[in-house]
Amino acid sequence: MERSVDVVVGVCTKNCADTVASVIKTVDRGLARFFPEKRSLIIVSDGFSTDGTQEKARTVETETEIVVTPQNGGQGRGMESGRSLRSRGIAVPPQSPWSMVT
């Protein structure tokens, strides 16, 4: 059986170990508040951080499932995971050049 989720929120990171936990927790609370009945996933796509961002992101406790992955290829490639999960919607920060909502 293929795995699927309803909503994916992408968090794109690079060298933000000091703030990544707060962002992930905020996203987690928002998903619980606005989409409690949906199957959700948080994907942290890290752009080769050297300050421990990935490691910090992996330690954050959330209600929502979370996947932390290094950037794979060019900008926005980390969000391909959301498409492969057949999600109904993908959200990344609007200022990102690779933002998409499907």
Q: Does residue 100 form part of some domain?
A: no
Q: Does residue 87 form part of some domain?
A: yes
Q: List the beta strands (DSSP E) in the chain.
A: 7-13, 40-46, 65-70, 89-91
Q: Does residue 60 form part of some domain?
A: yes
Q: Does residue 2 form part of some domain?
A: no
Percent helix / strand / coil, the chain, rounded to 5: 30, 25, 50
What pLDDT, on the 0 to 100 scale, is given for residue 73? Answer: 63
Q: Does residue 102 form part of some domain?
A: no
- Give yes or no for a contact between 19 and 58, defined as CB atoms under 8 angstroms apart: no
Q: How many other CB atoms are found less than 10 A from the CB of residue 78? A: 26
Supply the pTM of this predicted model.
0.76
- Give yes or no for a contact between 14 and 53, defined as CB atoms under 8 angstroms apart: yes
Domain that holds residue 67: 7-91
pLDDT digits (tens, 9 = 90+) for 42-91: 999 898 899 999 999 999 999 999 999 988 666 555 555 555 555 555 55
Domains identified in the chain, total number: 1
Q: Does residue 98 form part of some domain?
A: no
